[in-house]
């Protein structure tokens, strides 16, 4: 007999079915009657076992069932009596009367209760047993919600003529201001790859390559000290468009987010349309930060206050006191500030065609219109005090690509984790990532990061210093 999902039993009253899943809860009523809430990925189903009607093997199996045991049950779907209907359960109008029960696997007692919200459980323990934590209803819902968001974006992008292009995970650094994870090369002794902070250079090179519209559900890696809701790896809806102005990107993105909310979250309310626009300078002056929370009612879980923050400064002085690109060195300069830029004056006042999308006080995305001319890109590197030699070594490929008919282009990269977190009403992105790291970048389940056998280190030409 083919397997029936729990949810499908509703349409199969009177039929004999085979259902499979986990023993979510077992209620024994005296020694004859046992109720099992059977859980599969579609939800719960009530199974009734009346032991006097069962063959001895099945009756013994029913006696042995403990929480989280894996069961296969054959039985007849029957309508529940009016008083027994459970309106909270999608299968609440039916139950399966068991004929045969097989225990397909047993389970140790889980270290925490997964038939309840696990938010109160110690997070280290939840992450060590993430595969159990993920069984809980809220976590199943969050991860599935994330999937629907990603599916929506993919579909939306494809409908708008974007091409999904996979870019390398092993690459040479992108200077976007974060520390990179480094990967030693076995074949090239003493040489290293790095993991992408973002596919920034590849997406720009995809524009030079003539794709005009690129996107990717892109994993990004940043080796930073972890703060709050940061993760060493996270996911962006990374995209880039050719022959666009800032206005094109803003309007495209705004329409996409409105469509996302209207399609997947109709219960939510976008406070202002079109999304309010502020300059970086205005935002800093009025709110003291560049990601203002513009909600009218901060207690309304369904309010979504999107806002654009525009005209970010091109440069900043970093923690070490050196001049750095505020966003990244590929942003173009605002026309009004171009003369200053060419003269190299008053650098901190020079603005880029760089913009952020903010939602309820969180930065959702950063982007910019890029430089597509070699000389201007070189000028940025000069102002950032990157030597001629370093420019060639690190960015020679970009500078060269710009000499072969690079179109004007720009892009954006909304963070999937934050979007999913805000839509799920969670306070931490770990709640919407299936297998996240801890606040200090560990994976307690696998035990990463970990030591490596001496042989692997030798092959990677690595010697660990003992001091």
Give min distance, CB of 119 to ligand ASP, in A. Answer: 30
Cα–Cα distance, 79 to 232 (Å, whole number) = 50
**Minimum distance of ligand ASP from residue 404's CB (angstroms):** 22
415 is an interface residue for ligand ASP by CB under 6 A = no
CA distance 442 to 127: 10
Look up residue 336 and give its DSSP letter: G
Please tell me the distance from the alpha carbon of residue 352 to that of residue 410, in angstroms, as a whole number: 12
| Beta strand pairing call for 233-242 and 43-50 | unpaired
**Pairing of β 163-164 and β 213-221:** parallel
Q: Residue-wise over 292-307: b if at least 16 C-beta within 10 A, else e?
A: bebeeeeeeeebbbbb
Complex with ligand ASP: residue 91 or 368, whichever CB lies closer: 368
- 57: its two tokens: 């093997």
> By CB under 6 A, is residue 413 in contact with ligand ASP?
yes
Phi/psi at 285 (nearest 5 deg)? -70, -45
Q: Residue 460 and residue 324: Cα distance in Å, rounded?
A: 33
Contact 408, 353 (CB under 8 A): no
Question: Shortest distance, CB of residue 330 to ligand ASP, whole angstroms?
Answer: 7
234 binds ligand ASP per the rule CB under 6 A: no
Torsional sign, CA 258, 262, 267, 272: positive
Both tokens assigned to 281: 């300078």
Q: Which two tokens stand for residue 192?
A: 């290293």
For residues 8 and 2, the answer to whether their CB atoms sit within 8 Å is no
Q: Taking the CA atoms of the chain, what radius of gyration do you get in angstroms?
A: 28
Closer Cβ to ligand ASP, 75 or 411, answer by number: 411
The SS3 of residue 84 is: helix
Q: How many residues bind ligand ASP (CB under 6 A)?
A: 8
* CA 112 to chain centroid: 26
How far apart are CB 79 and ligand ASP at their closest, in Å?
A: 55
Q: Which two tokens stand for residue 422?
A: 């805000």
Output the smallest distance, CB 213 to ligand ASP, in A. Answer: 14
Nearer to ligand ASP, 84 or 251 (CB): 251
Judged by CB under 6 A, which stretch of 111-119, 221-229, 408-416, 434-442 contacts ligand ASP? 408-416
Q: State the nearest-atom distance from the C-beta of 155 to ligand ASP, in Å.
A: 21
Residue from 43, 75, 411, 436 that binds ligand ASP (CB under 6 A)? 411
When the beta carbons of 21 and 411 are compared against ligand ASP, the nearer one is 411
**Minimum separation from the CB atom of position 178 to ligand ASP (A):** 9
Q: Considering the rule CB under 6 A, would residue 257 count as an interface residue with ligand ASP?
A: no
| Location of structure tokens 């409908």 | 159
Task: Quickly tell me which residue has 């690109």 as its tokens.
Answer: 325
CB neighbourhood size of 4 (10 A): 22
Q: Give the length of the chain.
A: 467
Q: How far is the CB of 69 from ligand ASP (least distance, A)?
A: 46
Binding characters for ligand ASP, 165-204, by CB under 6 A (x = yes): ---------------------------------x-x----
- For residues 200 to 229, the per-residue mask of contacts with ligand ASP, x marking binding by CB under 6 A and - elsewhere, is x-----------------------------
Using the rule CB under 6 A, is 308 a contact of ligand ASP? no
- When asked if residue 237 is in the footprint of ligand ASP (CB under 6 A), the reply is no
Least distance between ligand ASP and beta carbon 256 (Å): 15
Contact set for ligand ASP, span 359-388 (CB under 6 A): 366-368
By beta-carbon proximity to ligand ASP, the closer residue of 313 and 367 is: 367
Site of interaction with ligand ASP (CB under 6 A): 198, 200, 366-368, 411-413
């Amino acid at each position: 007999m083919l397997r029936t999902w729990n949810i499908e039993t509703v349409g199969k009253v009177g039929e004999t079915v085979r259902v499979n899943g986990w023993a979510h809860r077992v209620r024994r009523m005296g020694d004859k009657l046992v109720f099992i809430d059977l859980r599969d990925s579609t939800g719960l189903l009530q199974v009734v076992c009346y032991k006097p009607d069962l063959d001895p093997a099945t009756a013994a199996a029913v006696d042995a069932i403990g929480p989280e045991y894996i069961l296969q049950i054959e039985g007849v779907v029957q309508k529940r009596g009016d008083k027994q209907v459970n309106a909270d359960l999608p299968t609440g109008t039916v139950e399966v009367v068991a004929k045969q029960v097989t225990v397909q696997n047993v389970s140790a007692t889980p270290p925490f209760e997964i038939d309840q919200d696990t938010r109160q459980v110690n997070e280290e323990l939840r992450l060590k047993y993430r595969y159990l934590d993920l069984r809980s209803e809220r976590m199943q819902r969050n991860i599935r919600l994330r999937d629907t968001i990603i599916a929506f974006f993919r579909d939306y992008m494809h409908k708008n003529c974007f091409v999904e292009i996979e870019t390398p995970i092993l690459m040479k650094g992108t200077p976007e201001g974060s520390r990179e994870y480094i990967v030693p090369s076995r074949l090239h002794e003493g040489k290293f790859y790095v993991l992408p902070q973002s596919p920034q250079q590849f997406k720009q090179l995809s524009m030079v390559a003539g794709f005009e519209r690129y996107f990717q559900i892109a994993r990004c890696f940043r080796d930073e000290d972890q703060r709050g809701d940061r993760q060493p790896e996270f996911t962006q809806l990374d995209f880039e468009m050719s022959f666009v102005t800032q206005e094109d990107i803003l309007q495209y993105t705004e329409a996409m987010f409105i469509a996302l909310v209207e399609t997947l979250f109709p219960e939510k309310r976008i406070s202002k349309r079109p999304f309010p626009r502020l300059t970086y300078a205005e935002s800093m002056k009025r709110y003291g930060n560049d990601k203002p929370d513009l909600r009218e009612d901060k207690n309304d879980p369904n309010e979504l206050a999107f806002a654009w923050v525009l005209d970010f400064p091109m440069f900043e002085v970093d923690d070490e006191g050196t001049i750095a690109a505020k966003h990244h060195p590929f942003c173009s300069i605002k026309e009004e500030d171009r003369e200053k830029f060419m003269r190299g004056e008053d650098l901190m006042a020079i603005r880029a065609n760089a913009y952020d999308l903010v939602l309820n006080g969180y930065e959702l995305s950063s982007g910019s219109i890029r430089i597509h001319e070699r000389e201007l890109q070189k000028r940025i590197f000069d102002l950032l005090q990157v030597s001629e030699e370093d420019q060639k070594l690190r960015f020679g490929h970009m500078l060269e690509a710009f000499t072969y008919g690079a179109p004007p282009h720009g892009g954006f990269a909304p963070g999937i984790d934050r979007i999913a977190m805000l839509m799920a009403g969670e306070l931490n992105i770990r709640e919407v990532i299936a297998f996240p790291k801890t606040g200090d970048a560990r994976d307690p389940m696998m035990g990463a990061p970990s030591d490596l056998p001496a042989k692997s280190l030798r092959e990677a030409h690595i010697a660990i210093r003992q001091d």
